[in-house]
Amino acid sequence: MTAFSHPDDFAGQTQPLRAAAARVLQAVEDGQSLAQCLPLGHASITPQEKPELQALCYGTCRWYHRLDAELAQRLKKPLKKSDRVIHQLMLVALFQLRFSQQASYAVLNETVEACRALGKPHLTGLVNGILRAAEREGEPEPTEPAVIYSHPAWIVAKLRHNWPDHWQEILAANNTQAPMTLRVNADQGSREQYLQWLTDTGIEAKPTELAPWGIQLAKPVPVERLPGFGDGAVSVQDEAAQLCTTLLDLAPGQRVLDACAAPGGKTCAILEHCPELTEVVAIDQSAARLPRIRENLDRLCLSATLKEADAADTGQWWDGEPFDRILLDVPCSASGVIRRHPDIKLLRREADITPLAGIQLGLLESLWLTLKPGGRLVYATCSVFPQENHRIIQRFLRQQFDARLIGPEVSWGMDTGFGRQLLPDSQAHDGFFYSVLERSTQAPGPPIKNV
Ligand SMILES: C[S@@+](CC[C@H](N)C(=O)[O-])C[C@H]1O[C@@H](n2cnc3c(N)ncnc32)[C@H](O)[C@@H]1O
């Protein structure tokens, strides 16, 4: 059973913040994402406590594997499954002892109180004893990379294998807090004008290095504080994600497909970048996520044709008219955005990657047939695993005789031979992969690139 089997579980009773955090973390361990279960945790705390609940849950997920290794050493035997929420509660307390400025006496007292609030008064002695020892003795020196960098062992092994010269840098970047980055709506003004507007509002910011419309804030702020946000002056979007529009080489009159579109960040970027497109068709398989595209379009006063469908099943949604441009931002492991979604460390399994690669190749094969000869497809992932990135393109080019690799021809990222890889940069963009393919105007013959 998940910690939040019903949204009313905690509603109406005010619970200590730590108890709510422990229950959210239990739900994550049971397979729910932080985005899904944090709002349920809000039911039991005061509105003022929401940012703190978020900080506790994100921080504990970020350092979960390291904290868990310490707790495992301190517990003589694991807690019973029915008491597992107290394991999460102690991880939250350890997170505060090791990674926050919170006074340790407050952490100890409030954790014991939360233990009672969670209906486990018989465990208060154990919790108190473990946390007192942790405070007194300090953190044991971690030696294993999976513990030092707080990642599941399979991710460490995979990164080490795939990126022998960069794996530590990737793991370290995954543990940093991502910057808040904006995309300026060029229709409403220049990047320089918006930077000035931010300065006038007292918000420190600088232009992004790679994305021409990007602005990186020195500190995150609530979007309501961003000048003109409600009127569509800017959107929140990572710098790497913004790069898709330049790679698509958009021009007036084109028909564009955004095949895996929700929540619509890139759909909106495409429409802002080239308002004179004939049509943008935005598809997503998830009925729950599709309304997010509509909300984003509405705020920016943009319009697109939205379809709820499995993009790979073209018989279900395609009218037979080919597209000049296709953006294929496939579902992936999200291993390039772990710093934004630290719950990925708990939710993703090694066994997920091969099936994901199958879905990615399947989408590419199906959508290729909807691309106009001479048209261009941009393949994108927020992954750093080659299995989902350049190896998909390599496999595709081996079999698709009318496909040609044409880019990205850019200086950023690393050349993989089949596209460019950006690794997560603690000072800037997320981890991302892009490949640009062109469909030949000739009838299909032998492969164009000898792979
Ligand atoms: C990486 S996210 C897309 C992010 C989006 N492009 C943006 O920039 O805002 C991948 C999306 O693909 C959708 N998806 C997964 N499988 C799909 C399929 N077979 N057909 C259409 N959409 C799919 C998921 O629901 C998810 O919204």
Asked if residue 97 belongs to a domain, the reply is yes
> Which residue, among 20, 30, 1, has the nearest Cα to 346 in the 3D structure?
30
User: Of all atoms in ligand 1, which is nearest to the CA of residue 311?
Assistant: 20
**How confident is the model at residue 13, as a pLDDT?**
46
Asked if residue 345 belongs to a domain, the reply is yes
For the chain, helix, strand, coil in percent to 5 are: 45, 15, 40
CATH number at residue 416: 3.40.50.150
**How confident is the model at residue 241, as a pLDDT?**
98
Integer CA distances (angstroms), 426 to 151, 339, 433, in order? 17, 9, 17
Residue 4: is its pLDDT beyond 80? no
Which residues are designated catalytic?
A: 382
> Which residue, among 107, 106, 79, has the nearest Cα to 92 in the 3D structure?
107
**How confident is the model at residue 363, as a pLDDT?**
98
Do 248 and 223 sit in the same domain of this protein? Answer: no
CATH number at residue 220: 3.30.70.1170
Question: Which of 115, 142, 169 marks a domain boundary?
Answer: 142
| CA 59 / ligand 1 centre spacing (Å) | 27
**How confident is the model at residue 174, as a pLDDT?**
98
Residue 54: is its pLDDT beyond 80? yes
Which residue CA neighbors atom 13 of ligand 1 most closely? 260
Question: Which of 189, 214, 236 marks a domain boundary?
Answer: 236
Annotate 203-239 with DSSP letters as a single string: --EEE-SS-TTEEEESS---GGGSTTTTTTSEEE--H
Residue 1: is its pLDDT beyond 50? no
Annotate 59-100 with DSSP letters as a single string: HHHHTHHHHHHHHHHH-SSPPPGGGHHHHHHHHHHHHHHHHS
Do 185 and 43 sit in the same domain of this protein? Answer: no
Q: 172 in ligand 1 pocket by Cβ < 6 Å? A: no
Do 231 and 251 sit in the same domain of this protein? Answer: no
**How confident is the model at residue 11, as a pLDDT?**
42
Asked if residue 156 belongs to a domain, the reply is no
Do 355 and 254 sit in the same domain of this protein? Answer: yes
Do 350 and 409 sit in the same domain of this protein? Answer: yes
| CA 393 / ligand 1 centre spacing (Å) | 18
Do 327 and 357 sit in the same domain of this protein? Answer: yes
Which residue CA neighbors atom 6 of ligand 1 most closely? 261
Do 81 and 211 sit in the same domain of this protein? Answer: no
Do 114 and 208 sit in the same domain of this protein? Answer: no
Do 265 and 412 sit in the same domain of this protein? Answer: yes
Asked if residue 309 belongs to a domain, the reply is yes
Do 248 and 389 sit in the same domain of this protein? Answer: yes
Asked if residue 445 belongs to a domain, the reply is no
- SS3 assignment, position 14: coil
**How confident is the model at residue 361, as a pLDDT?**
98
In contact, 5 and 27? CB cutoff 8 Å: no
| Average pLDDT of span 341-364 | 98
Residue 182: is its pLDDT beyond 90? yes
Ligand 1 pocket test target in 248, 284, 300 with most atoms within 8 Å of CB: 284
Cis preceding-peptide flag for 408 (omega within 30 of 0) = yes
Q: List the structure tokens of 217.
A: 């804030």
Asked if residue 147 belongs to a domain, the reply is no
Do 324 and 411 sit in the same domain of this protein? Answer: yes
Q: Which helix (H) or strand (E) holds 257?
A: strand 255-258
Q: 261 in ligand 1 pocket by Cβ < 6 Å? A: yes
Question: Which of 208, 236, 264 marks a domain boundary?
Answer: 236
- What confidence tens digit (pLDDT) does each residue in 125-169 have? 999 999 999 999 999 999 999 999 999 999 999 999 999 999 999
**How confident is the model at residue 192, as a pLDDT?**
97
Helices (H), 124-276: 124-137, 145-148, 153-162, 167-174, 191-201, 239-242, 244-248, 265-273
CATH number at residue 53: 1.10.940.10
Asked if residue 162 belongs to a domain, the reply is no
CA 343 – CA 74 distance, rounded (Å):
24
Q: 264 in ligand 1 pocket by Cβ < 6 Å? A: yes
Do 258 and 208 sit in the same domain of this protein? Answer: no
- What confidence tens digit (pLDDT) does each residue in 377-406 have? 999 999 999 999 999 999 999 999 999 999
**How confident is the model at residue 209, as a pLDDT?**
97
**How confident is the model at residue 43, as a pLDDT?**
86
Q: Please, what is the average pLDDT of the chain?
A: 94
Q: Is the pTM of this model over 0.85?
A: yes
| CA 330 / ligand 1 centre spacing (Å) | 6
Could you list the residue range(s) of the whole structural domain that residue 401 is in? 241-439
| Ramachandran bin of 189, using left for φ above 0, alpha for ψ from -120 to 50, beta for the remaining angles | left
What does the CA dihedral 314, 318, 321, 322 come to, rounded to 10 degrees?
Answer: -40
In contact, 358 and 416? CB cutoff 8 Å: no
| CA 46 / ligand 1 centre spacing (Å) | 34
User: Of all atoms in ligand 1, which is nearest to the CA of residue 258?
Assistant: 6
| Average pLDDT of span 347-357 | 98
Asked if residue 318 belongs to a domain, the reply is yes
- Number of domains comprising the chain: 3
